[in-house]
């Protein structure tokens, strides 16, 4: 079967994450299972892959794709922020590696019909997990102008947040904004021609902002990062691919803090707080795709991969 989603930094993820091919690995954002398939392919013996996704459509595709690995691969609908309870239910204390490939999949953008794309007329939903309550339509039509502006500015890093928020409020006075295309048209109406002509669609940041808000993406990432150190076995690794600076900043700061948790004042000659490094970054800088990969897969253009390893002795 052809899968529309091309896994980003695939070779790098497998070689940097799987340090023990008889270990237990978690793909916390399985999508259609591209990375998962490559990880499962290098496992042997007791090696095992646990794949999670909050989107039931992704889960059913990944389950079929990974079925050839039999009991080596388990795919389930779950939120990676709740990984601790997933592992407890499976009787696992920790795992040898976790991958998060954040954001959304090509399947969600192109084929879900849930309003992730500004190029199609779809209901303004944007929920990755249809069991969640808040939709983009509810936010776009229900939030105050001030809150709309804040979401656009903070989650979209959109310079024209104020103008877009005002245009949304004006538009919804006439009729509720119900489709993705309607929202894209509102954004385009306040964009100068220069931004309309650039390669990136003018509604990209607005759609990113509402998607992040609807799915509480930053809140869940923060929750995961606060638990992750305890879920990874000594010698195990965490690899995270992010696609925008908000997420990348959170990951970078968390990994740096695990590497250097000392809270002593700089004026002290040596550490007295007793907090010892728990992890070390495998590469100090984030790993980015090659030009060839970006040419072949536009989604890869903003990707940054960061990998950290838990020290054997904390
Ligand atoms: C970029 S795609 C992953 C693609 C995948 N690595 C592949 O190779 O096919 C991101 C996926 O993460 C899922 N996702 C996002 N946030 C999640 C969360 N908090 N818990 C579980 N899955 C999540 C999305 O539903 C989406 O399917």
Per-residue H/E/C for the chain: CCCCCCCCCHHHHHHHHCCCCCCEEEECCCCCCHHHHHHHHHCCCCCEEEEEECCHHHHHHHHHHHHHHHHHEEEEECCHHHHHHHHHHCCCCCEEEEEEECCCCHHHHHHCCCCCCCCCCCECCCCCCCCCCCCHHHHHHHCCHHHHHHHHHHCCCCCCHHHHHHHHHHHHHHCCCCEHHHHHHHHHHCCCHHHHHCCCCCCHHHHHHHHHHHCCHHHHHHHHHHHHHHHEEEEEEEEEEECCHHHHHHHHHHHHHHHCCCCCCCCCCCCCCCCCCCEEECCCCCECCCHHHHHHCHHHHHCEEEEEEECCCC
Residue 151 has phi, psi (to 5 degrees) of -60, -45
CA of 79 to the centre of ligand 1 (A): 9
* Nearest residue (CA) to ligand 1, atom 4: 31
Ligand 1 center–CA 292 separation, angstroms:
24
Sign of torsion, CA 270 273 277 281?
negative
Q: Which part of the chain is CATH 1.10.150.170?
A: 133-214
Tell me phi and psi for residue 95, to 5 degrees.
-130, 170
Q: What is the pLDDT along the chain (314 residues), one digit of tens a residue?
A: 566 779 999 999 999 999 999 999 999 999 999 999 999 999 999 999 999 999 999 999 999 999 999 999 999 999 999 999 999 999 999 999 999 999 999 888 888 889 998 888 899 999 999 999 999 999 999 999 999 999 999 999 999 999 999 999 999 999 999 999 999 999 999 988 776 666 778 999 999 999 999 999 999 999 999 999 999 999 999 999 999 999 999 999 999 999 998 899 989 988 899 888 999 999 989 999 999 999 999 889 999 999 999 999 75
pTM over 0.85: yes
pLDDT confidence of residue 226: 97
Residue 55 in contact with ligand 1 by CB distance below 6 A: yes
| Any atom of ligand 1 within 6 Å of the Cβ of 103 | yes
Cα separation, 268 vs 6, whole angstroms: 50
* Of 32, 105, 126, best ligand 1 pocket probe by most atoms within 8 Å of the beta carbon: 105
Ligand 1 atom at shortest distance from the alpha carbon of 299:
1
State the distance from the centre of ligand 1 to the C-alpha of 270, rounded, in angstroms.
Answer: 43
32 contacts 61 by C-beta, under 8 angstroms: yes
- Ligand 1 neighbour 34 (Cβ under 6 A): yes
Residue pair 73/22 in contact (Cβ under 8 Å)? The answer is no
Is the CB of 127 inside a 6 Å radius of any atom of ligand 1?
A: no
The architecture CATH gives domain 10-107+217-310: 3-Layer(aba) Sandwich (3.40)
Nearest CA to ligand 1 atom 3: 31
Q: For residues 213 and 216, give the distance between their C-alpha atoms in angstroms, rounded to a whole number.
A: 5
* Atom number, ligand 1, closest to the C-alpha of residue 221: 19
CB atoms within 10 A of CB 279: 24
Instruction: Specify whether the backbone of 157 is left (phi greater than 0), alpha (psi in -120 to 50) or beta.
Output: left
Q: How far is the CA of 80 from the centre of ligand 1 (A)?
A: 9
Q: Which two tokens stand for residue 45?
A: 């013996």
CATH superfamily placement of domain 133-214: Putative methyltransferase TM0872, insert domain (1.10.150.170)
Query: Which pLDDT does position 21 carry in this prediction?
Result: 97
Is 128 close to ligand 1, i.e. is its CB under 6 Å away?
yes
Mutate to test the pocket of ligand 1, among 6, 31, 78 (most ligand atoms within 8 A of CB): 31
pLDDT of residue 306: 98
Per DSSP, what are the bridge partners of residue 75?
Answer: 51
Model pLDDT, residue 247 = 96
Q: Is the CB of 81 under 6 A from ligand 1?
A: yes
Establish whether residue 112 lines the binding site of ligand 1, counting it when its CB lies within 6 angstroms of any ligand atom: no
Q: Which residue has the tokens 């904390």?
A: 314
Q: What is the rounded CA–CA span in Å between residue 210 and residue 218?
A: 12
The pLDDT assigned to 11 comes to 97
Residue 247 near residue 221, CB atoms below 8 Å: yes
- The response to whether residue 29 sits with its C-beta less than 6 Å from ligand 1 reads yes
Query: Residues spanned by CATH 3.40.50.150 within the chain?
Result: 10-107+217-310
Looking at ligand 1, which atom is closest to the CA of residue 10?
A: 8
104 pocket-lining for ligand 1 (C-beta < 6 Å): yes
């Amino acid at each position: 079967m052809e899968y529309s989603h091309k896994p980003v930094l695939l070779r790098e993820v497998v070689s940097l994450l799987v340090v023990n091919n008889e270990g237990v690995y978690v793909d916390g954002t399985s999508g259609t299972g591209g990375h998962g398939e490559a990880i499962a392919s290098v496992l042997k013996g007791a090696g095992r892959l646990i794949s999670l996704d909050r989107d039931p459509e992704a889960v059913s595709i990944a389950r079929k794709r990974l079925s050839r690995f039999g009991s080596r691969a388990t795919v389930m609908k779950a939120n990676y922020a709740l990984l601790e309870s997933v592992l407890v239910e499976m009787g696992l204390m920790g795992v040898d590696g976790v991958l998060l490939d954040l954001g959304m999949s090509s399947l969600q953008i192109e084929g879900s019909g849930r309003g992730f794309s500004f190029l199609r007329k779809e209901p303004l939903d944007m929920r990755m997990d249809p069991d969640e309550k808040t939709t983009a339509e509810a936010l776009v039509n229900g939030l105050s102008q001030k809150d709309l502006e804040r979401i656009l500015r903070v989650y979209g890093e959109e310079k024209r947040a104020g103008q877009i928020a005002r245009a949304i409020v004006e538009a919804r006075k006439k009729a509720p904004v119900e489709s993705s295309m309607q929202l894209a048209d509102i954004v385009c109406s306040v964009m100068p021609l220069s931004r309309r002509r650039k390669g990136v669609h003018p509604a990209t940041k607005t759609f990113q902002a509402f998607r992040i808000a609807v799915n509480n993406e930053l809140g869940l990432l923060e929750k995961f990062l606060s638990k992750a150190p305890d879920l990874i076995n000594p010698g195990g690794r965490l690899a995270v691919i992010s696609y925008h600076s908000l997420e990348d900043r959170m990951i970078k700061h968390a990994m740096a803090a695990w590497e250097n948790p000392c809270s002593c004042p700089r004026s002290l000659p040596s550490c007295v707080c007793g907090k010892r490094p728990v992890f070390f970054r495998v590469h100090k800088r984030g790993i980015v795709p090659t030009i060839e990969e970006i040419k072949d897969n536009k989604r890869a253009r903003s990707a940054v991969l960061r990998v950290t390893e838990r020290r054997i002795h904390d």
